[in-house]
Chains A and B, each alone.
Chain A
Amino acid sequence: MHAPISFGRLSRIITAVALSTVLLTSSVFAARPHASTVNLTMYFPIGVAGPLNSLMTRLVADFNDTHPDIHVNPVFAGDYVSASAKAQAGISAGSPPDVAVLLAADLFSFTDEHAVLPLDKYFTKKELADYWPAFLANGRLHGHIYSIPFQRSTPVLYYNKAMFSAAHIKKAPSTWAQLAKDAQKLTQRDSSGNVTRYGVEFPSDGTVYWMWEGLVLETGQKLFNSTGTKVYFNSPGAVKATNFLIDLSHKYHAMASGVLPWGGAPTDFTGGKVAMIYHSTGSLSAILAAAKFPVGVAFMPKDKTYGAPTGGGSLYVFKGIPASHVKASVTFIKWMTSPVRAAQWSIETGYVAVRKSAFKTHAMKVFAKQNPQVLVARNQLKYAQAELATHQDQQIHQFIDDQLDAAISGQSPTKTALQTAQQESNQILSQFGK
């Protein structure tokens, strides 16, 4: 038996229960995203561990905190190839990611699949003008812009200042001829004639086409057309660039011969095995951290003109997602590439900040004062052009990489090799030529 409860007491209990329910539920809901929150999936090409991963996690958390109506879920999707593969799988299954950082040069692969949205209408002219044109170039097609630069790089010439002054060379070489001469001077041999130190190294395994494009551009030759249907691999400029590389080993004896590994070049350089290397700006932080000598950074030396390709990943937005997701994705992209974030990403990773105003931020000014090398890469962007991008670009890259390997390792003469790559590419590209 219960004691009878007075009305007053009952109402107090009800109020208390009601109040605590409201408080409880509200605190539960507060922990979750808002009911009208847009959930975005972003693919980012990195493994699950490492500094880039933690930086991206921090940035996304910052974005989510400051944008209560958008929630971005980053998916760390391996390297560029696996991230692309995952995005492709999503597209085929009808559930594409909303945003992804994928290779800028893969543009045609995505447009051929009708997988990505043009983004230019979401940006003002002024906003777009703030991104470096050389970086935007790989996103341009048929008057639209399909990708916004995010983690972009460009190759530069690294040189060992201590070795330079020991050899009485005052400044970094600015021409091919000067480079060959300096490299010869910097090459050292022991008493029995074995080379103990080479003058220069131009890595040539894997994606050698990338830096090689820089050499071709320096001869004043373009490597492909803007609609991605033609390549100029057998052009005189391409032949000249390839022969220059071969001459560094076989005529000037200032570079190791054969195909040299990309990953080994920074180690060779910081270990004092070579005086100069061509490498990506992306390696700057690692080289500065490992080198026990003053590191100089210079433009890729010129032939007729300065020239360099750009490389790396840009942000794409995918077709087939709701309008609210497109809008939220654009907000996210603008935030991620805002001057402050672009500067932060550049400082912490070594990629070149993708927009001009990033170099006017306080953080970047302070950083550039300590590391003036970052400004060299920026200044070279004036001469930089789009990375080799065509329809079916991965296969075209493979053709030219294979034949460059063949030429560099002495398997076939330069002209034959480049002619082969040209024919193989023509065969593929003719399917797209309109």
Chain B
Amino acid sequence: MATRATGSRNRYGNPFLPYFLLAPSLAVLALFTFWPAIHVGWLSLYRNNLASNGPHFTGLTNFATILDDPQFRTVLFNTLEFVVGTAVPSMALGLTMALLLNRQRILSPLYRVAFFYPTLVPMVGAATAWAFIYTPGYGLMDRVLHLWGGGSLNPLGDPKLALPALIALSIWRMSGYLMIFFLAGLQSVPTDVQEAARVDGAAYPTILRRIIIPLLGPTFVFVVIIAIVNTAQLVDQLYVTTGGGPNNATNLLLWDIYQQTFSFQDQGIAATMTVVLVGALLICAALNAFLLDRRTHYDD
């Protein structure tokens, strides 16, 4: 590090100055992030729904209730499938597109815009367009299938196909976004090392595996967490397409929380589910930070 504070006093003189300067953002964080998180944990200990006539303390009963509920298990499993099914291919696609477009060619900027553009379309608009693609009979997908002699599909109405159909939509939207981070990361991979390797006779796959990907470590740490958090929060598409159906085939945790709160008015269960979601995301972030981050090579 270039500068290091000596003793208890930093070079600004007042030891409290950094805390003072951080106080405003800490206050905002406390008010809008930490306090709601604590409060929701507190609410999860109460039975509070339309039948309860006000909140009643029930300890961990809500947690037992949701763990016992087959629908909640379906929702958890869907969410896991959706997050992994979206995040992993999106990262792979994002990295591939970034590697292809990192080299300066005449059309590179055009392709970058083309790949990034799905991110700019609001999710509701994108989902509406995809709902049309999936429309049975005359939707784009059925038209194409028909040209090749295939039959008619109703992906959003079929419990087996609905979630994969939404995952496809989310990958389309997410990969361009992740590409941007990989592109930025690639800018900082030094070209001299790559050239040296090439002079030594290393083929591109070797350079990719031994040099580029290890040097992209910090980018991966960031992208993994961004991809997980973002996909876990994607529910707009449900609002315009399946509403969580058919028969909960596309019901995701955040959507379920929304329904428990605003449709079923079960504040206790909603709070409990929120604790599960926030807890899971925190664990992901922590694992990511401790496992991946430690093995990552930072070159500055």
Q: Which residues of A contact B (CB under 8 A)?
A: 81-82, 84-85, 88, 108-109, 112-113, 194-195, 204-206, 256-261, 264, 268, 271, 273, 391-392, 394-395, 398, 401-403, 405-406, 408-409, 411, 428, 431-432
Residues A409 and B50 in contact, CB atoms below 8 Å apart: no
B298 within 8 A of A: no
Residues A88 and B265 in contact, CB atoms below 8 Å apart: yes
B246 within 8 A of A: yes
| Docked complex: B3-37 residues within 8 A CB-CB of A | none
Residues A259 and B158 in contact, CB atoms below 8 Å apart: yes
Residues A406 and B159 in contact, CB atoms below 8 Å apart: yes
Select from chain B the residue with minimum beta-carbon distance to A263: B131
Residues B51 and A392 in contact, CB atoms below 8 Å apart: yes
| Docked complex: B111-141 residues within 8 A CB-CB of A | 131, 135-138
Q: How far, in whole Å, are A261 and B245 apart by their CA atoms in the complex?
A: 11
Residues B51 and A402 in contact, CB atoms below 8 Å apart: no
Supposing A259-B157, A261-B156, A391-B50 touch, asked if A205 and B245 sit within 8 A by C-beta, the answer is yes
Residues B262 and A112 in contact, CB atoms below 8 Å apart: no
Q: How far, in whole Å, are A343 and B49 apart by their CA atoms in the complex?
A: 39
Q: Which residues of B contact A (CB under 8 A)?
A: 49-51, 53, 71, 131, 135-138, 146, 151-152, 154, 156-159, 242-243, 245-248, 259, 261-266
Residues A258 and B264 in contact, CB atoms below 8 Å apart: no
Q: How far, in whole Å, are A428 and B49 apart by their CA atoms in the complex?
A: 11
B134 to chain A, nearest CB (A): 9
22 A-B residue contacts at CB 8 Å? A81-B262, A84-B262, A88-B265, A108-B50, A194-B146, A204-B157, A205-B243, A258-B136, A258-B154, A258-B157, A259-B158, A261-B131, A261-B157, A273-B137, A273-B138, A391-B51, A392-B49, A394-B263, A395-B264, A395-B266, A402-B245, A428-B51
Q: How far, in whole Å, are A271 and B265 apart by their CA atoms in the complex?
A: 40
B120 to chain A, nearest CB (A): 22
Q: Per a CB cutoff under 8 Å, which of B152, B158, B265 touches A194?
A: B152
Residues B137 and A268 in contact, CB atoms below 8 Å apart: yes
B78 to chain A, nearest CB (A): 13
Residues A206 and B247 in contact, CB atoms below 8 Å apart: no
Q: How far, in whole Å, are A256 and B135 apart by their CA atoms in the complex?
A: 12
Q: How far, in whole Å, are A234 and B71 apart by their CA atoms in the complex?
A: 20
A386 to chain B, nearest CB (A): 19
Q: A258-B158, A403-B247 are in contact. List 14 more A-B contacts (CB 8 A).
A: A85-B262, A109-B265, A112-B51, A195-B152, A205-B245, A258-B136, A260-B136, A260-B157, A261-B135, A394-B264, A402-B71, A406-B246, A409-B157, A409-B246
Residues B263 and A411 in contact, CB atoms below 8 Å apart: no
Residues A405 and B263 in contact, CB atoms below 8 Å apart: no
Q: Is the interface of B mostly helix, strand, loop or mixed?
A: loop
Supposing A258-B136, A261-B157, A401-B245 touch, asked if A113 and B262 sit within 8 A by C-beta, the answer is no
Residues A260 and B263 in contact, CB atoms below 8 Å apart: no
Residues B245 and A264 in contact, CB atoms below 8 Å apart: no
Q: How far, in whole Å, are A6 and B44 apart by their CA atoms in the complex?
A: 82
Residues A409 and B159 in contact, CB atoms below 8 Å apart: yes
A346 to chain B, nearest CB (A): 28
A205 to chain B, nearest CB (A): 6
Set of chain B residues within 8 Å of A257, measured between Cβ atoms: 154
Q: Please list the 7 inter-chain residue pairs (A to B) with the smallest Cβ-Cβ separation, ordered nearest first.
A: A259-B157, A405-B246, A431-B51, A258-B157, A394-B263, A405-B247, A406-B247
A196 to chain B, nearest CB (A): 9
Q: How far, in whole Å, are A394 and B261 apart by their CA atoms in the complex?
A: 11
Residues B51 and A432 in contact, CB atoms below 8 Å apart: yes
Q: How far, in whole Å, are A431 and B137 apart by their CA atoms in the complex?
A: 45
Select from chain A the residue with minimum beta-carbon distance to B137: A273
Set of chain A residues within 8 Å of B53, measured between Cβ atoms: 112
A49 to chain B, nearest CB (A): 14
Residues B50 and A109 in contact, CB atoms below 8 Å apart: yes
A427 to chain B, nearest CB (A): 10
B19 to chain A, nearest CB (A): 35
Select from chain B the residue with minimum beta-carbon distance to A271: B138
B91 to chain A, nearest CB (A): 32
Residues B136 and A194 in contact, CB atoms below 8 Å apart: no
Q: How far, in whole Å, are A259 and B266 apart by their CA atoms in the complex?
A: 28
Set of chain A residues within 8 Å of B263, measured between Cβ atoms: 81, 394-395, 398
Residues B137 and A256 in contact, CB atoms below 8 Å apart: yes
Q: How far, in whole Å, are A257 and B152 apart by their CA atoms in the complex?
A: 10
B107 to chain A, nearest CB (A): 38
B158 to chain A, nearest CB (A): 5
Q: How far, in whole Å, are A257 and B158 apart by their CA atoms in the complex?
A: 9
Set of chain A residues within 8 Å of B157, measured between Cβ atoms: 204-205, 258-261, 409
Most A C-beta atoms less than 10 A away, residue of B71, B131, B151, B262? B262
Select from chain B the residue with minimum beta-carbon distance to A432: B51
Set of chain B residues within 8 Å of A109, measured between Cβ atoms: 50, 265
Q: How far, in whole Å, are A127 and B129 apart by their CA atoms in the complex?
A: 48
